[in-house]
Structure 1
Amino acid sequence: MAKQDLTGKVVWITGASSGLGKALAKECALQGADVILTARRYEELEKVRVTLLNPERHVSVCADITDESQVRHAYAQVLAAKGRIDWLINNAGLSQRALIQDTTMQTERAIMEVDYFSQVFLTKTVLPTFIAQKSGRIAFVSSVAGLLGTQYRASYSAAKAAIHMWANSLRAEVAQDGVEVSVIFPGFVKTNVSFNALNGEGKPQGHQDEAIENGLEPDLFAQSTVSALLAGEEYIVVGGAKEKLGVWVSRLSPSTLYKMIRKMKVK
């Protein structure tokens, strides 16, 4: 497959005010895209937008992706501003740091709402545009945790696995319409994800994990991811040697992986 080019393409990124979303926005702008940045706080989006290459070409569209009316309004704003969408990157997400026995059902549902249902709804909202265009790529930021399942991340792993399987079905259904679907599986990347991760009570953890602190730099994650998306890759694992080894073992010998995970110190 010939490598695609992002020059003049419209890329819509959720969770774009910080972390992976901010890094992806920066990389897409460097590659020539018109970037639509979405998150809940307009001021934070604007702080990111003005740092991007050619800031006047990019648009901040504020929305809480768990609110369906806000998502519909955001979609209308994107089409009014740009008239098309070439890439949708479903990046907004919420992590978890709690044992199953300490996690309330309210917290279980909150994580599933952000990491699964909201991405499903946004994608379903945008899908008619992709199908009418007969082109475009829809990408989902899952997680290596969605492939492996580890302690303290049960709900998060489940939600990230769910969006992966939903994306697989979507890929099969829209292939004949010229629409492509990719799933990205980041390992540990140095962002604020663990500060915002929910404990069992549904409150932010409020501190950094050692593994995250020692993780991949966000800019390197974004460069690898955008390069893979441009190459048309559908299954994209981005992380360090440990995470890549875990994914490899999960395919070859699930039982070996389960034994490895039991011994891991993952919190």
Structure 2
Amino acid sequence: MSCQIKQQNSRNMKNSAVQHKVIWITGASGGIGEALARELAADGARLVLSARRQTELERVRASLANSSQHLLLPLDITDDMAVASAIDTIQQQIGGLDWLINNAGISQRALIVDTTAQTDRKLFEVDYFAQVNLTRQALPLLLADGGGKVVFVSSVAGLVGTQYRGSYSAAKAALHLWANSLRAELFAQGLTVATIFPGFVKTDVSRNALTGDGSALGSMDDAQANAMSADAFAEKAVKALLTGKSYIVIGGLKERLGALMSRLSPELLYKMVRKSKVR
């Protein structure tokens, strides 16, 4: 079998796995969320795209395969009433939900001693409480047909606490452990739960990251600028999700090594972290 035929067959298998599935992606107006939308739309999924910026959602939808079939739901995930309304809209306009990809989030670039309590709370509100609430509200739709899939986009920082990301790392770690509990509790009802731990990906995440007083950093980290593309990340992420993996680390060698060492030798890991340049 030629390499070209093998690649085509591989794509067909991916298509059959998500074709016609309804997949809701939060944080879909750029970066990882936009790249996941492109990858899944190309594989035949019907998408629900959410973010705060409607104009950017419209731009993303226009770029997707079968653009007319995808539903836009502008949404601030920290608004409880808006989340409930969004879920009602999905139920009324589509009738069901197969996957929920919790991708919306905000990062941090500030030392602990320079971070206000208000900034701490904002990071946890966006990166933990809002995602837990949205997932809980979406469960009836996901479970209605015998089970669905919930995906959380955490971070390698949620496995490896580093400088300048204290509250962000804590929120992402909390999300990871909540996902573990959800997986255990609803396995018998057919729900599958996966957590993705990205390392550095070339997006605007550092530009939008909160400094100590809650303002945006406004610049891109060197590590971010030289990282893998969002499209390359999305291709790896979707491939891992379709093979049924539930613990997915995607990043460069340093990030993958850090994730491994967090389980094998935390003492050695933190000797490495103290010497690392992470800002």
Q: TM-score, normalised by structure 1?
A: 0.98
Partner of 1:151: helix, strand, or coil? coil
Does structure 1 residue 102 correspond to structure 2 residue 120?
Answer: no
Q: Which moved more, 1:185-194 or 1:54-63?
A: 54-63
Partner of 2:152: helix, strand, or coil? strand
Q: How does 1:6-85 map to 2 (within 5 A)?
A: 6-85=18-97
Does structure 1 residue 137 correspond to structure 2 residue 153?
Answer: no
Q: Which moved more, 1:80-89 or 1:103-112?
A: 80-89
Q: Give 2:272's aligned amino acid.
A: M
Q: 2:206 and 2:92 mapped to 1: Cα distance?
A: 36
Q: Give 2:82's aligned amino acid.
A: Q
The residue aligned with 1:210 is 222
The Cα offsets for residues 159-185 of structure 1, whole Å up to 9 and x where unpaired, read as 000000000000000000011000000
Shift of 1:132: 2.2
Runs of 4+ more than 2 Å apart: none
The Cα offsets for residues 81-111 of structure 1, whole Å up to 9 and x where unpaired, read as 2111111000000000000000000000000
Does structure 1 residue 158 correspond to structure 2 residue 170?
Answer: yes
Question: 2:182 aligned to 157, 170, 173, which one?
Answer: 170
The residue aligned with 2:213 is 201
Q: Which moved more, 1:51-60 or 1:77-86?
A: 77-86
Partner of 1:122: helix, strand, or coil? helix
Partner of 2:144: helix, strand, or coil? helix
Partner of 2:202: helix, strand, or coil? coil
Does structure 1 residue 227 correspond to structure 2 residue 239?
Answer: yes
Structure 1: unaligned runs, 5 residues or longer: none
The residue aligned with 2:6 is none
Partner of 1:208: helix, strand, or coil? coil
Residue identity over aligned pairs, in percent, reads 57
The Cα offsets for residues 4-49 of structure 1, whole Å up to 9 and x where unpaired, read as 7000000000000011100001101011100110001111101100
Q: 1:56 and 1:259 mapped to 2: Cα distance?
A: 52
The Cα offsets for residues 32-84 of structure 1, whole Å up to 9 and x where unpaired, read as 10011000111110110010001011111011000000101111111222111
Q: Give 1:50's aligned amino acid.
A: A
Q: 1:250 and 1:162 mapped to 2: Cα distance?
A: 15
Does structure 1 residue 114 correspond to structure 2 residue 126?
Answer: yes
The residue aligned with 1:253 is 265
Question: 1:92 aligned to 104, 116, 128, which one?
Answer: 104
Partner of 2:213: helix, strand, or coil? coil
Q: Give 2:256's aligned amino acid.
A: K
Q: 2:92 and 2:34 mapped to 1: Cα distance?
A: 23
Q: 1:78 and 1:39 mapped to 2: Cα distance?
A: 15
Contact 2:91–2:141, Cα closer than 8 Å, also in 1: no
The Cα offsets for residues 103-134 of structure 1, whole Å up to 9 and x where unpaired, read as 00000000000000000000000011222221
Q: 1:163 and 1:81 mapped to 2: Cα distance?
A: 30
Q: 2:188 and 2:31 mapped to 1: Cα distance?
A: 34
Partner of 2:73: helix, strand, or coil? strand
Partner of 2:82: helix, strand, or coil? helix
Q: Give 2:69's aligned amino acid.
A: R
Q: TM-score, normalised by structure 2?
A: 0.94
Question: 2:192 aligned to 173, 176, 180, which one?
Answer: 180
